[in-house]
Amino acid sequence: MITSGSRIHPKKALRIGLADEVVKPEFLMQAARSFAGKSRPGRKTSSRPWRKRILKVLEKTRYGRNLIFKKARKTVLENTRDHYPAPMAAIEAMEEGYAHGIEMGYEMEARLEGEMIVSDVCKNLIKVFHLREGFLHGDLSPAEDIKSVAVIGAGIMGGGIAALSAEKGFRVRLMDLSSDALGAALRFLHKDVGKKRKKGRITGVQAQWTLDRLATDNQLRGFGNSDLIIEAVAERMDVKRSVLSDVVAAVSRDAVIASNTSSLSIDGMAEGLTNPSRVAGLHFFNPVDRMPLVEVIHGEQTSGDTVEKLTAFARKLGKIPIVVKDRPGFLVNRLLLPYMNEGARLLEEGADVQQVDKVMLDFGMPMGVFILLDVVGLDIASHAGESLFEQFGERMRLSPVMSAMLEAERLGRKNGKGFYLYDSKGKRKPDRGLGKVLGSLVVDSDGLGDDDIVNRLILPMVNEASLCLDEGIVDTVQAVDAAMILGAGFPPFRGGLLRYADSEGVDRIVDILEELSSTVDERFVPSEPLKDMARAGKGFYS
């Protein structure tokens, strides 16, 4: 618990002896008075006394303690890759207390805590905490009249949105032409609710209420009473426009209409629709139940009232909304796709898949760039990349590696083969035959250094972020950092993409980009906003 900082649910806290009693809020004072009056409050006996005895034996012997601390260090390093020093310091303080007495442990804890507090990691994590809180909390009243939600499309995204909305108390109507898709969405909700009930996070009654709030249909029926309609069909403009046209005819004039698009124009979808001011984007990230970010996309005709309602609705779902302008790729994908494409470019120059991924894991990314491509799906990444190339030209041109992978029917984890190979359980392993797939696209090379790999992958995102700010895609640098941490997994201990840029120095970044543009390719040419900052001696936050 100390090294992970994880939250313990009341039912588990009671089971492990952390809590003496768990009661409903309305009975808290009565239970507290009763508890205070007991001379020797009893504790619940562990259901696994043998485990408790084994742990006690381990704790009381030097060999056992060494074993526990060794395992703890190994686990922490596996989870943090040594980017977060506090868990290791906590282990060190506890070990000192066991070895030389509790007072010595307290002294070491105080000294190490002082060192942690003034570290850059601590300062960055505090900034990220305030960053998250600033976007998470806000006025919920604009969404008060949203009681009923309709979701069109019962795929992974639509089903996830419907399930989450039902769990958060909204009446939900899920529509899809496929009965199989509707069945899969219902099974997902039942499984998720069952897990929460088993862990004691919800009661049986709450579980049933959640299930009762979700209705399914394979036709557009009963949508007239829906306050919010979320479209989550195939990522094709013709399909989405056809669906939205049918939706407008079936719902009230005041209903808010949102598209869960990841790249298509909201203005393009709203064209020709009645009252386009109520149409906006609501881009959830996959998996819906775990990813905290939602991009709220406002088109040219989207009203401020619509944006406020969707922002408040996202917060009611427990999500962190970032308002972005309707431009190709919006914010996260516009920054992330050049990162993924540059990974493919590195392969052209003879880089090794596993080396590149290890470098990015060591940098602090939650997964390597090629693992990410396999998870996203090479077909989806290529489709989104082509859209950005059409809008922004050469700097977004896709690597031929991507088309070669698609021609070889390598889509990623979804079909068991991408830059890695995957077994039936999704377990990943290196692919020694990848070189044959890429063939002449790859040139012989002495390889790239770790710093070169980081610069090639991270600095284009900094460059693109400066353009997004200049174009008003988002209003603040804080929005960029929040979106990249929460939507793309940029390492929190670095404070965010733009805080990292400031720590490296914008002038230094411009110098590196200029060198890369002259020695590698013109796609690295630094933007004018970035060069202006460097000339003025400023950073993104100054």
- Tell me the per-residue pLDDT of 69-119, one tens digit each, with 9 for 90 and over: 999 999 999 989 999 999 999 999 999 998 999 999 999 999 999 999 999
Has residue 304 been placed in a domain?
yes
Q: According to the model, what pLDDT value does residue 291 have?
A: 94
Domain count, the chain: 3
Q: Which is higher by pLDDT, 397 or 445?
A: 397
Q: According to the model, what pLDDT value does residue 51 have?
A: 67
Do 292 and 381 lie in one domain? The reply is no
Q: According to the model, what pLDDT value does residue 39 have?
A: 63
From the candidates 100, 130, 137, 283, which is the catalytic residue? 283
Do 20 and 105 lie in one domain? The reply is yes
Residue that is last in its domain, among 305, 325, 345: 325
Mean pLDDT, residues 332-349 taken together: 94
Has residue 542 been placed in a domain?
no
The model's confidence at residue 43, banded by pLDDT at 50, 70 and 90, is low
Q: Around Cβ 58, how many Cβ atoms within 10 Å? A: 14
Q: Which is higher by pLDDT, 20 or 421?
A: 421
Do 248 and 295 lie in one domain? The reply is yes
Do 282 and 314 lie in one domain? The reply is yes
Do 300 and 442 lie in one domain? The reply is no
Mean pLDDT, residues 200-208 taken together: 86
The model's confidence at residue 507, banded by pLDDT at 50, 70 and 90, is very high
Q: According to the model, what pLDDT value does residue 40 have?
A: 54
Distances from the Cα of 310 to the Cα of 15, 305, 488, angstroms? 40, 9, 21
Catalytic site residue 283?
Answer: yes
pLDDT at 47 over 60: no
Has residue 300 been placed in a domain?
yes
The model's confidence at residue 428, banded by pLDDT at 50, 70 and 90, is very high
- At residue 507's C-alpha, the angle toward residues 504 and 513, to 5°, is 90
Judge contact between 484 and 497, C-beta under 8 A. yes
Residue that is last in its domain, among 104, 130, 156: 130
pLDDT at 400 over 80: yes
Q: According to the model, what pLDDT value does residue 112 have?
A: 97
Has residue 139 been placed in a domain?
no
pLDDT at 436 over 80: yes
Q: Around Cβ 507, how many Cβ atoms within 10 Å? A: 16
Range of the domain at 415: 333-535
Has residue 289 been placed in a domain?
yes
Mean pLDDT, residues 172-195 taken together: 93
Which CATH number do you get for residue 162?
Answer: 3.40.50.720
Has residue 138 been placed in a domain?
no
Do 319 and 346 lie in one domain? The reply is no
Contacts of 166 (CB under 8 A, 6+ apart): 172, 189, 210, 211, 213, 214
Please state the pTM of the whole predicted model: 0.90
Predicted confidence (pLDDT) per residue in 33-42, tens digit: 988 887 654 5
pLDDT at 329 over 80: yes
pLDDT at 440 over 70: yes
Do 321 and 339 lie in one domain? The reply is no
pLDDT at 538 over 80: yes
Burial class (CB in 10 A: 0-12, 13-18, 19+), 107: middle
Q: Which is higher by pLDDT, 60 or 288?
A: 288
Has residue 136 been placed in a domain?
no
Do 459 and 349 lie in one domain? The reply is yes
Residue that is last in its domain, among 290, 325, 360: 325
Q: According to the model, what pLDDT value does residue 16 have?
A: 82
Has residue 137 been placed in a domain?
no
Which CATH number do you get for residue 445?
Answer: 1.10.1040.50
Q: Which residue has the tokens 């909305």?
A: 165
pLDDT at 1 over 90: no
Do 117 and 166 lie in one domain? The reply is no
Do 80 and 154 lie in one domain? The reply is no
pLDDT at 438 over 80: yes
Cis peptide, bond prior to residue 287, ω within 30 of zero: yes
DSSP 138-151: ---GGGTT--EEEE
Q: With pLDDT > 90 as the criterion, what percentage of the chain qualifies?
A: 76
Do 88 and 149 lie in one domain? The reply is no
Q: According to the model, what pLDDT value does residue 333 have?
A: 94
Query: What distance in Å separates the CA atoms of residue 444 and residue 212, rounded to the nearest whole number?
Result: 61
Do 93 and 235 lie in one domain? The reply is no
pLDDT at 410 over 80: yes
Distances from the Cα of 541 to the Cα of 131, 319, 428, 537, angstroms? 13, 25, 40, 12
